[in-house]
Structure 1
Amino acid sequence: MATVQGALLVGSINLPDAETTFRTAAETLGGHLKRVPDGEPGARFHWIAFQADRIAATPGIERVGDEPVLLKGLDLRPIRVADGVDIASLRLAPLGYADSALQSWEQFRALREAGVIAPGTRFQVSLPTPAAVVGAFVVAEQRAAFEPVYAAALYGELDRILAAVPHDDLAIQWDTAVEFAFIEGAGYPERFGGAYTPWFDDVWAGVIGRAVEQSRHVPEPVELGYHLCYGDAGEQHFFEPADTANLARFANLLAAGVERSIQWVHLPVPIGRDDDAYFAPLDELALGPETELYLGLVHREDLADGARRRIEAAARHAPAFGVATECGIGRAPAETVVPLLGAHAAVATAW
């Protein structure tokens, strides 16, 4: 039987604000958590959906289509750089990640100093990969040229966070989801915006090279984690993985290519998969001894009972892991959040 220890909160949590998230996580999970995110409230509730509006605030960038495509006030229309504008010269308007993180950090620090959050717990900031935002919102013919512009802006946001939060209090997670649409050759169904198409020829070299580059912007002793994901639009994956083969391959290539320590890697587990076939590729997982593995096998539909079935199967192929949900829970019904967090504690021991 595997050692099931600790829990990871992937990112978004459907609670009203950061303080409520911090307090609820501390009360419900306590010593199960090494790090706590702010739950991504407000405009961040739907992961990167708010980025199209942020990018479009930059002069020289325009929306595609005459009528807004609204999701709770966010306009999901694609963006393009206007004719005659030099893409490489663009400097994007603030993306919002640093402002949100710095506000949440002050709340986190105050609650930790007050004893609400345990000493030593780190403040977790989850960031999308540049390829995710570019692949989701930029018109196909401009993605290759626009990616370095967006990456520079995102790394600038990260630099602001690094300058404000003590490094031994901070954990950075790279949310790696669109990359698996590239890898699997599948995109969201049409109701979720159509398929994602990579703008680079060698898909595996492209996604791993980008993931390694992201690690270079996170200096030690800041913790570094990767959330590998198959999406959560409408609480559905864009593609149901046949098994963990591509997830394990991605994790192994990360472990081999990243030059600094990786503190955690998270892999999703669909609710219906409690069979050996899904978990068998984890036999070949080769993470470093400092890297925690989290399996996203806790689901709101069957809570601890279902998680235990999936743990039993996973334990035959992964000797030690912690638990998580398969993606963020920012879109889950609000009344399911506390029971879902409680299910983590029910199936794992504290650190």
Structure 2
Amino acid sequence: MASSPSGVHLVGSICGAETATESFKKCIAAFPARLRRLPDGEPASRNNFVGWQRSVFSHAPFMLEEYDAQNDVIKKPTATPAEIAEVVNNLPPLNLRYDEFGLESYAEFRRLRAEGIIPQGVRFLVCVPTVYCVMSLLRAEYAAAIEPLYTDALIGCLKRLEAEIPHEDLAFQVDVAAEPMLIKAEPGTVIYHFEQYWEGDAFTGSMERVASLVRSVAPDVDVGLHICYGDMGHKHFIEPVDTADIVKISNTVAAESNRVLNWVHFPVPKSRDDDAYFAPLVGLNAGEETEFYVGLVHPNDEAGTMKRLIAATKYLKGKKFGVATECGLGRALTEYFDSIARISSGISTVI
């Protein structure tokens, strides 16, 4: 197994790209022979992660969490069971549009590949959130009732994409971007708006949901995880103490989904180049086929990136691994892109 990183993973969104075509060209040029999978950059309205999914519930905006100027949740009286039932009974079909945008971008992906711009063998990457990520936008009492409907709609999007895109061209990334805060919250507390709305253990319930989504993907379609601690205002909602939760999430989802996890991406805070952060990685057992993408590349920080890489490599021996940034680049300053591309390509080998 390689002792140096092979390839680069792009988490999803790309800064400065207004269209999928622009993003595809920008990334292929910036990361030559480094990409196994290529996202469309989540341009325009989709560059705010799941924020644009609020429009799915525009018919009933009272279900959505509201925030004050400090981004704290504005508390409202809890809806009654009768009020919730009335909303659910009158709910129109949920149009998430992940399939619509995916097919539109894939048409450009295929065109650029035919022109020789996108290399053969690179898969088209579609990034989707966990259902819990989106349900966190809703008031908790409504989230519990809407979750089954949203789950069916999201899986429906995946199945449409699987039906219309050749499986050898397709990859799905499940963005596990709210669960880490939920499982770290002390009993009776809520971190931002990540509130539990089901009975039982937070970790068990959330991982069952992630594994079920992963399990729904066809065996010959690549699927991976992006594990995240948030990127609001370029800050994590909480700072990870080490990689223990990343290992626990990866191993649990791999075991419960009953299929290959093709990759796992996880963040490395800029300040962490110490053994204590990376040491839990020796416990990774997601599978021999799984690639691990270490989000240790920070812009304009070649020296720090090398320190983080040296530390991570010690605990990833025997694993397939590559490099990445901590999170998507949709909210990053455009001027950081060239630095990220140069550092990433400089420390990784071609695939």
State TM-score, norm by structure 1: 0.89
Match of 1:11?
12
CA-CA distance at 1:82 after TM superposition: 5.7
1:142 aligned to 2:142?
A: yes
Contact 2:65 2:139 in 1 (8 A): no
Equivalent residue for 1:317, pick from 306, 315, 318: 315
What SS class does the counterpart of residue 85 from structure 1 fall into?
helix
CA-CA distance at 1:86 after TM superposition: 5.0
Q: Distance in 2 between matches of 1:301 and 1:249?
A: 31
Contact 2:265 2:293 in 1 (8 A): yes
Change (3 A) 1:164 1:311: same
Match of 1:243?
242
Length, aligned pairs only: 338
Contact 1:4 1:348 in 2 (8 A): yes
Q: Distance in 2 between matches of 1:77 and 1:162?
A: 40
Contact 2:13 2:43 in 1 (8 A): yes
CA-CA distance at 1:88 after TM superposition: 5.9
Match of 1:157?
157
1:46 aligned to 2:44?
A: no
Equivalent residue for 2:25, pick from 23, 26, 39: 23
What fraction of aligned residue pairs are identical, expressed as a percent?
Answer: 38
* RMSD, aligned CA: 2.7
Contact 1:91 1:149 in 2 (8 A): no
Q: Distance in 2 between matches of 1:87 and 1:274?
A: 49
Stretches of structure 1 that go unaligned for 5 or more consecutive residues are: 71-75
Contact 1:167 1:220 in 2 (8 A): no
CA-CA distance at 1:62 after TM superposition: 3.0
Letter of the structure 2 residue corresponding to residue 29 of structure 1: F
What SS class does the counterpart of residue 260 from structure 1 fall into?
coil
What SS class does the counterpart of residue 278 from structure 1 fall into?
helix
Contact 1:35 1:124 in 2 (8 A): yes
Change (3 A) 1:164 1:4: same
What SS class does the counterpart of residue 324 from structure 1 fall into?
strand
Letter of the structure 1 residue corresponding to residue 231 of structure 2: D
Q: Distance in 2 between matches of 1:77 and 1:159?
A: 37
Contact 2:64 2:139 in 1 (8 A): no
Contact 1:55 1:92 in 2 (8 A): no
Match of 1:73?
none
1:264 aligned to 2:246?
A: no
Equivalent residue for 2:305, pick from 304, 307, 315: 307
Contact 1:52 1:77 in 2 (8 A): no
What SS class does the counterpart of residue 343 from structure 2 fall into?
helix
Match of 1:330?
330
Question: Structure 1 residues 152-161 or 287-296, which shifts more?
Answer: 152-161
What SS class does the counterpart of residue 297 from structure 1 fall into?
strand
Q: Distance in 2 between matches of 1:128 and 1:68?
A: 21
Match of 2:196?
198
Change (3 A) 1:327 1:213: same
Contact 1:21 1:38 in 2 (8 A): yes
CA-CA distance at 1:21 after TM superposition: 1.1
What SS class does the counterpart of residue 33 from structure 2 fall into?
helix
Change (3 A) 1:207 1:262: same
Change (3 A) 1:123 1:47: same
Q: Deviations over 1:69-99 (max 9, x none)?
A: 89xxxxx999x89666252663434112111
Letter of the structure 1 residue corresponding to residue 58 of structure 2: A
What SS class does the counterpart of residue 325 from structure 2 fall into?
coil
Q: Distance in 1 between matches of 2:346 and 2:165?
A: 32
CA-CA distance at 1:255 after TM superposition: 2.1
What SS class does the counterpart of residue 125 from structure 2 fall into?
strand
Query: Equivalent residues in 2 for 1:1-351 (5 A)?
Result: 2-14=3-15, 15-57=17-59, 61-63=60-62, 85-87=86-88, 90-135=91-136, 137-185=137-185, 194-200=192-198, 201-302=200-301, 304-319=302-317, 320=319, 321-351=321-351
Contact 1:296 1:327 in 2 (8 A): yes
Q: Deviations over 1:31-76 (max 9, x none)?
A: 111110000001111100011122224xxx2336999989xxxxx9
Letter of the structure 1 residue corresponding to residue 129 of structure 2: P
CA-CA distance at 1:246 after TM superposition: 0.7
